Amino acid sequence: MGQPLRIGMVGAGKISGAYLDTLDRLPGLRLTAVTDLDPGRAKEAAERGGAEVVGSVAELVARDDVDAVLNLTIPAAHAEIALAAIAAGKHVYGEKPLAATREEAAAILAAARDAGVRVGSAPDTVLGTGTQTARKAVDDGLIGTPVAATAFMTTPGHEAWHPDPEFYYRPGGGPLLDMGPYYLSALVHLLGPVVKVTGAVSTPRAEREIGSGPRVGQRFPVEVGTHVTGVLEHAGGALSTLLMSFDIHAARLPRIEVHGTAGSLSVPDPNGFDGPVELHAAGGTWEPLPVSAGHPGGGRGTGLADLADALAAGRPHLASAELAEHVLDVMLTLLDAAHAGTSLRVTTSCERPAPVLR
């Protein structure tokens, strides 16, 4: 194995802990620098990751010991940080969504092509054993021809546990843009890209109340739809029903199910890397499937490690910007369709990512 890819991390908020849990056990990566608007958070993350604190994004992307930038900022800043890193000749891997708008996403991809650098994007959970075992079952024909899927994410809202939840309820947030990338990325892995969407959206509550941390009890306005539902038409003809909500206190809905001409498949939560996959063949009963594909023991940063491996091998990386751009376009088009009260074509597409075989 060659030298590890040296990582500069921008943003040391809550999600950074999940990455720091993983980075030190991925041999192809080494954290070298950390910056955050809060110097205390940057210091804590740097000490935990064995890295150096850096005073600004500009300083971090200019460093010789940073090959790739891990962008863990809030969604509204994703494009700005990515473009700064690309301009400095660095590869980029960012949290989802890729950007807040289609224009920003297109600018990131264009800049990366011009600079000859790679851009990857979360979620990488779909590279774990859960989604990949389910995908292999679909590819092996265990449910026949896929005809439909369902995807449900329900929660009363992130303000109950997040001490600074406002960004979830501002433009670029909401349940679809926050959690939709996990579910839509899984659906693209399972069924291929989306060509057409229909949607509906509502905002039942105009304000939310912070439920944890030093600002408990403070109220803030809601600026986006918090209950979103839609129907997605995949290029292969399958129809997926999607529900993403910050307004449901309890539910007994499955995370993802895929239904075909010869059976049905229960797929685990795409916000995790593993979990049980169950098959119900026509005329049979639900039976667990053995793990047959995917990265075992995956954690946040698996997609960045795959990017490092792909660079060394000269192959495409799996958690790609092209997939993330398509997922973003699907989400924004669904919201456009909901507000217009119609169905709309999705203007982007992508290759179905390669499987992660064992």
**Fold identical between 5-121 and 125-294+325-345?**
no
In the chain, the amino acid numbered 6 is R
DSSP letter, residue 101: S
339: confidence class by pLDDT, cuts 50, 70, 90? very high
**What is the predicted pLDDT for the residue at 180?**
97
Summarised one tens digit per residue, pLDDT across range 231-279 is 999 999 999 999 999 999 999 999 999 999 999 999 999 999 999 999 9
- Please state, in angstroms and rounded to a whole number, the distance separating the CA atoms of residues 186 and 134: 10
pLDDT at 192 over 70: yes
Among 119, 125, 124, which Cα is nearest to 98's?
Answer: 119
Q: Where are the domains of the chain?
A: 5-121, 125-294+325-345
pLDDT at 2 over 80: no
| CA-to-CA separations, 50 to 40, 62, 129, in angstroms, rounded | 15, 19, 29
Residue with tokens 């890397």, as numbered in its chain: 273
Summarised one tens digit per residue, pLDDT across range 36-85 is 999 999 999 999 999 999 999 999 999 999 999 999 999 889 999 999 99
In this structure, are strands 256-260 and 146-154 parallel, antiparallel, or unpaired?
antiparallel
- Please state, in angstroms and rounded to a whole number, the distance separating the CA atoms of residues 79 and 217: 32
Supply the mean pLDDT for the chain. 96
CATH superfamily of 125-294+325-345: Dihydrodipicolinate Reductase; domain 2 (3.30.360.10)
pLDDT at 324 over 80: yes
**What is the predicted pLDDT for the residue at 172?**
79
Q: Which CATH number fits domain 5-121: 3.20.20.80, 3.40.50.720, 3.30.70.100, 3.90.79.10?
A: 3.40.50.720
pLDDT at 294 over 60: yes
**What is the predicted pLDDT for the residue at 159?**
96
27: confidence class by pLDDT, cuts 50, 70, 90? confident
| CA-to-CA separations, 334 to 14, 74, 238, in angstroms, rounded | 28, 22, 17
**pTM of structure:** 0.95
Summarised one tens digit per residue, pLDDT across range 154-180 is 999 999 999 999 999 998 789 999 999
Helix axes 129-139, 174-191, angle to 10 degrees: 40
Residues 320 and 304 sit within 8 Å (Cβ to Cβ): no
**How many CB atoms within 10 Å of residue 236?**
13
Alpha helices (H) in the chain, listed in sequence order: 16-23, 39-49, 57-62, 78-87, 102-115, 129-139, 174-191, 302-313, 321-340
Percent of the chain with pLDDT over 90: 95
**What is the predicted pLDDT for the residue at 109?**
98
pLDDT at 1 over 60: no
